[in-house]
Structure 1
Amino acid sequence: MARKGTESAETQSWQARQGQRRIVDMSGKALCADCPSSNPLIYEKSLTTSKESASMQRLAVCFAFLLVLCLPGAGHAAEPLTVAFLAGAGGLKSPFNQLAYDGLMEASENLSLEVIVDTTLADANDPALKRDALKRVIELGDAEYVIASGSEWVEAVQQSAQKHPDVYYTLVNARLEGLDNVSCIVFADQEGGYLAGALAALTTRTGLVGFIGGMDIPEIESFAAGYAAGVHDVGPRASVYVEYISDDEETFAGFRSPEQGYTMASRMYAKGVDVIFAAAGASGEGVIRAAQETGAWAIGVDYDQDHLAAGHVLTSVVKQVNNAVLLEVSSVVAGKFSPGVHVYGVKNGGVGLSPMTYTRDVIGKGVLEALKEIETKVADGEVDIPKTLPRQ
């Protein structure tokens, strides 16, 4: 996509010299290590996070990334592609948003990109403010490609995409179909939930396991449904207790209330539950604290949370958000943008369990081998995993 022919001085302040990576926030401050910056820490943190992973899953994604770069049109842009990143709830303090940002930063190491970062409205609930943020990065920042993290951006992206058909958009962890310039990164949450449920069934001593969700919404129910299915398929006599922290759809308080997560988990543990899978954002930290205090196990979500209470986080259901964003960005640069919903699951390395660094010795070789067999069946499509819980 060509840039506008004339640019104001204000617009030019957003832009990089050709061939030089530059990352700026909404106030125009540089955030990259090779540009003058009052605060380079965010960028340095993203590099540290990205480079720590050395799994086979990562190697497979990097290989796919190289294949994309070899496609006709890759790497031949006359000038850098301007990409705007709009963070969801929690900004870059949210590990999920940080992972999405990490994927973009890794792409910027290999591709000619100019990146605009906006976290100023991450926790804003007013749809009009979201729309204004998109207008700003496109009309002021001259963004040619927008990555928006979280379902709270759907309405604003829909309107913006209709108004700017020459701009590409990617929604992360949200669905929006029917627009030729919008792609969506979603994850097969039910598959990750199923693996967590299978492990819970293989390790529970009481036969009682729990699930705590931030809200009863489809994205969280798919975790719960997969988890319950995994438990019942592997341990048919086990019981699964499912609870949700909040039904507040305006503030999404269920994902921001560690104390409520702690109280709910403590109550479950007191009833004999010894494994709880928490899909509740920051509220899950309270569940993990309760597991540590009671000597029980919790299961983390979205990123590897095992270190938060070493030995008390059985595993974490990890979404490889950074890998997915990396592939989406490289496809745009290669001129191979593909609209629609792109699902990342166990088979393509989008969802899986953490390495269980602090618990694998306790879990034992036999259980880990059984879990590996289950994972292979899920990847091969041999297991029918529900996305919804049975209705009473």
Structure 2
Amino acid sequence: MTLLRPNRRTALALISSACLPTLGRAQAPKKVAALFAGRIDDRGFMQAGYDGLKLAEARLGVSVAFKQGVQPKPEELTAALRELAAAGPDLVIAHGGQNNAAAKAVAAEFPSVRFAVTQGNVTGTNLASYEVLQEQSAFLAGMLAALTTRTGVVGHMSGIRVTPGLKGRAAYAAGVAHADPKVILLTNFSGNQDDNALSEKVARAMIAEDAQVIFTMLNAGRDGVTAACRERGVKQIGNVGDWTAIAPDVFIASAFADSGRALFDAVADFTAGKFATGEIKRLGLETPEAVRLVMAPSVPVDIRGRIEAAASSIVAGTLKVPVEWSGSEFPTPA
């Protein structure tokens, strides 16, 4: 057999042609999978996270997949995260602090995959938490409630007892006391973020006890409270998004805390090679596009000024926002 030895020009051509496909091939987009323990159309926390995921897809060019509607039970969250990770994404995001334990366990099973928990407080060698400090806007919401109630009574309503929700309640209670320690706070965790019949029942019971302003940390179940407030002329303060633009006749303010920003930042850091593995990355009032109190035009100028001054003190570190609270809770009606 005669071997043909290429000349120098032929050899260079062969090398060049072999390299062309590699040089011209576009890099495959990073794959991001997200878990939502609720509905992505809840007009609350889950929808904000989903919006953050879609924004990452549009702006960062990542390929996305997600699961929604998973019950916030440890075994179901763990199974859902394991299923997402097994599909081979580069990054798995568990949206919400209820995923802390599940994410910690599943991240250990898939060491080559990066994991993030939004509103979480867990870390690991391939795990980070990204948290929007909703307690800071909740504190300001508490101040506003105390300064605007005509009865000396205000309410707080939430569903499941996850760490961010408990911190938000503690901050709201502290804001009420900071503005007027004589104001009475009624606070309730009903066990469900999305049940409108249940939330309306709780709201009506609070209104019967003279609650004049109610702060709702709910998801799809917020509409039941809104119906009760509208009927009885009671004001409401929302959270996550700007509810003053959605129902201005009922909402006097909204403790804006865009949890979708936490999700987007996790993806942005990952694609930029700056993923906060082993850390908890936090965003607060110093980032107003993520956290702020949106107030309706009807809020008096003097009250608005007091709240803006408090916000500046929080950013400066001279006013600390408590994240723990102990006291009697308002019972869920039978």
Q: TM-score range by the shorter chain?
A: 0.7 to 0.9
Give 2:60's aligned residue. Answer: 111
**Structure 1 residue 273 displacement after superposition:** 1.8
SS state at 2:324 partner: coil
Kindly tell me: are residues 391 and 368 of structure 1, through their superposed partners in 2, closer, same or farther at Cα, counting changes over 3 Å?
closer
Distance of 2:203 and 2:71 partners within structure 1: 29
**Structure 1 residue 125 displacement after superposition:** 5.5
Of 309, 321, 335, 2:273 maps to 335
**Structure 1 residue 315 displacement after superposition:** 1.0
**Structure 1 residue 118 displacement after superposition:** 2.5
Equivalent pair of 1:289/1:309 in contact (CA under 8 Å): no
Kindly tell me: are residues 307 and 257 of structure 1, through their superposed partners in 2, closer, same or farther at Cα, counting changes over 3 Å?
same
SS state at 1:335 partner: coil
* 1:182 and 2:122 are equivalent in the alignment: no
Kindly tell me: are residues 337 and 389 of structure 1, through their superposed partners in 2, closer, same or farther at Cα, counting changes over 3 Å?
same
Distance of 2:303 and 2:117 partners within structure 1: 37
SS state at 1:264 partner: helix
List alignment gaps of at least 5 residues for structure 1: 1-17, 20-77, 247-253
Distance of 2:203 and 2:244 partners within structure 1: 17
Equivalent pair of 1:79/1:112 in contact (CA under 8 Å): no
* 1:162 and 2:108 are equivalent in the alignment: yes
**Structure 1 residue 169 displacement after superposition:** 0.9
**Structure 1 residue 297 displacement after superposition:** 0.3
Distance of 2:280 and 2:63 partners within structure 1: 25
* 1:347 and 2:286 are equivalent in the alignment: yes
Kindly tell me: are residues 103 and 280 of structure 1, through their superposed partners in 2, closer, same or farther at Cα, counting changes over 3 Å?
closer
Distance of 1:94 and 1:148 partners within structure 2: 18
Equivalent pair of 1:85/1:148 in contact (CA under 8 Å): yes
Give 1:198's aligned residue. Answer: 143
* 1:287 and 2:199 are equivalent in the alignment: no
Whichever residue aligns with residue 301 of structure 2, its letter is: K
Of 95, 99, 110, 2:44 maps to 95
Select the structure with the greater relative contact order (CA < 8 A; seq sep ≥ 6): 2
Give 1:240's aligned residue. Answer: 185
Structure 1 segment 1-392 matched on structure 2, within 5 A: 78-93=27-42, 95-119=44-68, 122-124=69-71, 127=74, 129-140=76-87, 142-177=88-123, 179-246=124-191, 254-339=192-277, 340-349=279-288, 350-354=290-294, 356=295, 359-360=296-297, 362-391=298-327
- Structure having the higher Rg: 2
SS state at 2:319 partner: coil
TM-score (norm 2): 0.82
**For this pair of structures, how many residues does the alignment match?**
302
Kindly tell me: are residues 167 and 260 of structure 1, through their superposed partners in 2, closer, same or farther at Cα, counting changes over 3 Å?
same
Whichever residue aligns with residue 384 of structure 1, its letter is: K
Whichever residue aligns with residue 321 of structure 1, its letter is: S
Cα RMSD of the aligned pairs, angstroms, is 2.3
List alignment gaps of at least 5 residues for structure 2: 1-24, 329-334
**Structure 1 residue 92 displacement after superposition:** 4.2
Whichever residue aligns with residue 260 of structure 1, its letter is: L
Give 2:331's aligned residue. Answer: none
Kindly tell me: are residues 194 and 158 of structure 1, through their superposed partners in 2, closer, same or farther at Cα, counting changes over 3 Å?
same
SS state at 1:289 partner: helix
